[in-house]
């Protein structure tokens, strides 16, 4: 760990003209194409979350303490700010499949949401071509409803029209492999079945810029293989793919570039082998 | 794409020789502008926003219906509760205010008077309360999917509208049972409901934006709503209690009748009950509130479109 960090900081020190903190260890594996079109430009992005209800040591959530706080005119300590992404910059090009790795809480999911335009930046900006979409409809689904209703609801939430929903419906049911359970409420599903249905719904739509957050490690082995194939197909259709996963094999197989996030900053950015090797060491 | 190749090569993050960005690299913002990339978060113009919202109409309707269905899905009687809830409410109000407290003195056909007022007010109350929670209670949805955020408060109001359709069925039966005749005025009931729905959508949009940042609103709202309920003449006639009282100046009643909830309640009573004396200007007040709140609410909500989901 110490060794690799030292090495990194040395490389960093040798880049006087670089305004950014990331380290490019390797050029593109492919020969540089003449028309490499940028699809996503992230420019010195900072994201700050406000978290409510994060109790400090002084306040353990009882009414008397809350009153004292008001009387003492202290602000609102249970509102905490979390600086999740701290100055990230990179350019993604057409045809890129970028894996994002990092520990829990390193800002991976936040970064994806910012690229998708779902979290407003505190400073800096994300520039995109078209509408990047996050692969995930979980939040729109309702556990009490049948799979059938959830498929329709999820498709509409992603912006499909009734005709497209009709076309995709059978495909979604087939792909999820839940069979007659589609008539039952989702609350009766096993966690694997639920995950399969969610993935089937989410992947029913084609995207220009596709953001995938930990969607692969769901279901049994058979479904895993099926979903990896589906991701591959979506990658071919999409211009650019971002993939967040803890499963490094998936990233190594799918991606041609890996960004390593550490505490909200880019620690390393380059081809999968080099970055993943460094990441495994660290 | 008409740029020289060298510029593009410079713009690439990794130079092929040493793996570090080339010196004098152009700012990323300019690179983005050159390739026609736009900021991911930018508020669409108001017409574009309305168009996006129209494109999501299926989502709004399905979301509203789904919420209604899931609400009663765990109970044995299931969707029957959609009818039972307003019916039981009407029974309790009548028992409490009609028989025990005897508020009915001086009002003809008090059961119809009371139940009409209660159902109309409940529609506005529930739509507004739901709207206040529609953004703050759906942060995960807002952070996961892209759609015009106004779809959420809109869906909450439509959910209540669907419930109201059932309540109105109950109301019409009850009003007929209490002896009111069917008149031509009943044809105007849908118009009155449309006006009230316009007001409700506008009000829930306003509250949705306020509730998105002011977390304590949801704690406070029940008290505001109860005060509003008492001030809207649901249980008593504003004209009798306030307008005819000797120690209260006459303009107080006029102000109270200008209250949108009171106006929509009075309008519905005018239409359904022959014994109810129509108020002058009632239609103008109802139309004014519908247009003013809907347009103003939309504009106010749209102004913060890009900020929802942050806090």
Question: Is there a single domain that holds both residue B88 and residue B21?
Answer: no
Q: Which of A20, A26, A118 sits opposite B146 (nearest CB)?
A: A118
Reported as a single tens digit per residue, the pLDDT across B216-237 is 888 899 999 999 998 888 888 8
- Which H/E stretch holds residue A265? strand A265-270
Q: Sheet containing A79-93: give its strands across.
A: A79-93, A38-52, A123-128, B38-39
DSSP alpha helices (H): ranges in A120-265? Answer: 147-157, 162-176, 191-202, 221-237, 248-254
Instruction: Tell whether the model's pLDDT for residue A16 goes beyond 70.
Output: no
Model pLDDT, residue B7: 37
Higher pLDDT, B230 or A70: B230
Q: What are the respective helix, strand and coil percentages of chain B, to the nearest 5?
A: 70, 0, 30
Residue among B117, B157, B86 nearest B263 (CA): B117
CB contact under 8 Å between B21 and A32, yes or no, is no
Interface test with A, best of B37, B38, B155, B311 (most A CBs within 10 A): B37
Q: Which residues of A touch B21 (CB under 8 A)?
A: 15, 17-18, 20, 24
Question: Is there a single domain that holds both residue B29 and residue B59?
Answer: no
CATH classification of the domain holding A8: 3.40.50.300
Q: How far apart are CA A224 and CA A175, in angstroms?
A: 12
> Do residues B279 and B246 touch, judged by C-beta distance below 8 A?
no
Model pLDDT, residue B300: 95
CB contact under 8 Å between A125 and B29, yes or no, is yes
3-state secondary structure at position A46: strand
Average pLDDT over residues A208-226: 73
In-domain check, residue B311? no
Average pLDDT over residues A141-164: 90
Q: How far apart are CA A159 and CA A157, in angstroms?
A: 5
Residue span of the structural domain in which B238 resides = 45-305
Question: Is there a single domain that holds both residue B61 and residue B84?
Answer: yes
CB contact under 8 Å between A139 and B35, yes or no, is no
Model pLDDT, residue B264: 94
- Which H/E stretch holds residue B249? none
With a CB cutoff of 8 Å and minimum separation 6, the contacts of B190 are: none
Measured at the CA of A44, the angle between CA A38 and CA A48, to 5 degrees, comes to 125
Cα B162 versus chain centre, distance: 13
Question: Is there a single domain that holds both residue B123 and residue B21?
Answer: no
Question: Is there a single domain that holds both residue B87 and residue B188?
Answer: yes
> Do residues A229 and A257 touch, judged by C-beta distance below 8 A?
no
Question: Is there a single domain that holds both residue B98 and residue B136?
Answer: yes
Strands A209-213 and A133-135: parallel
- Assign A247 a pLDDT band (cuts: 50, 70, 90): confident
User: What residue of B is the nearest CA neighbor of A165?
Assistant: B58
Which residues does chain B have with pLDDT short of 70? 1-25, 40-42, 102-105, 310-311
Q: Which residues of B touch A33 (CB under 8 A)?
A: none
> Do residues B101 and B174 touch, judged by C-beta distance below 8 A?
no
- Which H/E stretch holds residue B124? helix B110-134
Residue span of the structural domain in which A244 resides = 2-132+207-281
Whole-number mean pLDDT of chain A?
77
CB contact under 8 Å between B27 and A152, yes or no, is no
In-domain check, residue B156? yes
Q: Which residues of B touch A130 (CB under 8 A)?
A: none
Reported as a single tens digit per residue, the pLDDT across A169-188 is 999 999 888 888 889 988 88
CB contact under 8 Å between B11 and A91, yes or no, is yes
Higher pLDDT, A49 or B50: B50
Interface test with B, best of A32, A112, A118 (most B CBs within 10 A): A118
Phi then psi dihedrals of residue B275, to 5 deg:
-75, -10
Residue among A205, A206, A227 nearest A156 (CA): A205
Question: Is there a single domain that holds both residue B34 and residue B150?
Answer: no
CB contact under 8 Å between B14 and A52, yes or no, is no
Question: Is there a single domain that holds both residue B274 and residue B191?
Answer: yes
Phi then psi dihedrals of residue B8, to 5 deg:
-70, -40
Q: How many domains does chain B have?
A: 2
**Percent of chain A residues past pLDDT 90, beyond the cut:** 8
Q: How close B269 gets to chain A, by Cα (Å)? A: 38
Question: Could you say which DSSP state residue A31 is in?
Answer: P
Question: Is there a single domain that holds both residue B173 and residue B223?
Answer: yes
In-domain check, residue B101? yes
What are the angstrom distances between the C-alpha of B259 and each of B35, B199, B206?
Answer: 54, 12, 17
Model pLDDT, residue A58: 52
> Which bin fits A113, alpha (ψ -120 to 50), beta or left (φ > 0)?
alpha
DSSP alpha helices (H): ranges in A14-146? Answer: 63-71, 108-115
In-domain check, residue B83? yes
Measured at the CA of A115, the angle between CA A110 and CA A121, to 5 degrees, comes to 70
Cα A139 versus chain centre, distance: 15
Q: How far apart are CA A197 and CA A181, in angstroms?
A: 10
Q: How far apart are CA B24 and CA B39, in angstroms?
A: 24
CB contact under 8 Å between A91 and B28, yes or no, is yes
Question: Is there a single domain that holds both residue B25 and residue B84?
Answer: no
Q: How many domains does chain A have?
A: 1
User: What residue of A is the nearest CA neighbor of B72?
Assistant: A144
Question: Is there a single domain that holds both residue B294 and residue B208?
Answer: yes
Q: What are the respective helix, strand and coil percentages of chain A, to the nearest 5?
A: 40, 25, 35
Q: How far apart are CA A273 and CA A252, in angstroms?
A: 7
Phi then psi dihedrals of residue A140, to 5 deg:
-85, -15
3-state secondary structure at position A49: strand
Question: Is there a single domain that holds both residue B136 and residue B5?
Answer: no
Q: How close A37 gets to chain B, by Cα (Å)? A: 7
Task: Tell me the β-bridge partners of A149.
Answer: none
Per the listing, tokens 């009371």 go with B114
């Amino acid at each position: 760990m110490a060794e690799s960090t030292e090495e990194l900081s040395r490389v960093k020190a040798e880049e006087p003209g670089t305004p950014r903190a990331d380290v490019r260890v390797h050029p593109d594996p492919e020969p540089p194409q003449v028309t490499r079109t940028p699809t996503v430009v992230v420019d010195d992005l900072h994201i700050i979350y406000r978290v409510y209800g994060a109790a400090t040591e002084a306040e353990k959530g009882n009414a008397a303490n809350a009153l004292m706080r008001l009387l003492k005119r202290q602000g609102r300590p249970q509102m905490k700010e979390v600086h999740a992404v701290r100055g990230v910059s990179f350019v993604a090009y057409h045809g890129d499949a970028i894996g994002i790795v990092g520990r829990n809480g390193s800002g991976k999911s936040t970064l994806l949401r910012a690229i998708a335009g779902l979290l407003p930046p505190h400073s800096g900006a994300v520039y995109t071509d078209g509408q990047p979409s996050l692969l995930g409809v979980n939040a729109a689904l309702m556990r009490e409803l049948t799979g059938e209703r959830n498929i329709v609801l999820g498709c509409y939430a992603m912006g499909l029209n009734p005709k497209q929903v009709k076309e995709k419906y059978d495909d979604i049911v087939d792909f999820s492999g839940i069979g007659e359970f589609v008539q039952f409420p989702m609350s009766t599903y096993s966690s694997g079945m639920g995950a399969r249905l969610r993935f089937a719904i989410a992947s029913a739509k084609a995207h220009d810029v596709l953001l995938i957050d930990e969607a692969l490690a769901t279901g049994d082995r058979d479904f895993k293989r099926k979903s990896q194939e589906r991701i591959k197909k979506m990658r071919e259709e999409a211009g650019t793919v971002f993939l967040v996963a803890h499963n490094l094999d998936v990233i190594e197989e799918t991606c041609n570039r890996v960004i390593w996030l550490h505490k909200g900053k880019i620690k390393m950015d380059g081809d999968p082998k080099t970055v993943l090797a460094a990441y495994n060491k660290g | 794409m008409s740029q020289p190749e060298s510029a593009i090569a410079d713009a690439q993050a990794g130079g092929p020789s040493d793996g570090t960005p080339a010196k004098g690299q152009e700012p990323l913002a300019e690179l983005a502008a050159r390739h026609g990339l736009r900021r991911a978060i930018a508020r669409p113009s108001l017409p574009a926003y309305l168009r996006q919202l129209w494109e999501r109409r299926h989502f709004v309707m399905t979301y509203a219906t789904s919420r209604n269905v899931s609400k009663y899905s765990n109970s044995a009687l299931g969707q029957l509760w959609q009818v039972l809830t307003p019916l039981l409410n009407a029974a309790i109000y009548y028992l409490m205010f009609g028989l025990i407290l005897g508020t009915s003195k001086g009002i003809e056909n008090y059961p119809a008077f009371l139940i009409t007022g209660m159902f109309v007010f409940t529609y506005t109350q529930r739509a507004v309360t739901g709207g206040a929670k529609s953004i703050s209670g759906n942060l995960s949805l807002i952070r996961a999917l892209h759609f015009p955020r106004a779809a959420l408060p809109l869906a909450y109001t439509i959910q209540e509208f669907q419930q109201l359709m059932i309540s109105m069925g109950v109301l019409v039966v009850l009003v007929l049972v209490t002896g009111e005749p069917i008149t031509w005025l009943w044809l105007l009931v849908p118009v009155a409901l449309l006006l009230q729905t316009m007001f409700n959508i506008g009000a829930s949009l306003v509250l949705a934006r306020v509730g998105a940042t002011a977390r304590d609103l949801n704690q406070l709202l029940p008290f505001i709503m109860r005060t509003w309920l008492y001030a809207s003449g649901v249980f008593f006639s504003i004209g009798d209690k306030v307008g005819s009282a000797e120690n209260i100046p006459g303009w107080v009643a006029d102000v109270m009748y200008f209250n949108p909830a009171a106006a929509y309640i009075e309008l519905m009573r005018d239409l359904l009950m022959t014994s109810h004396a129509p108020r002058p200007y009632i239609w103008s007040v109802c139309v004014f509130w519908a247009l003013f709140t809907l347009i103003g609410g939309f504009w106010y909500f749209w102004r913060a479109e890009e900020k929802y989901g942050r806090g």
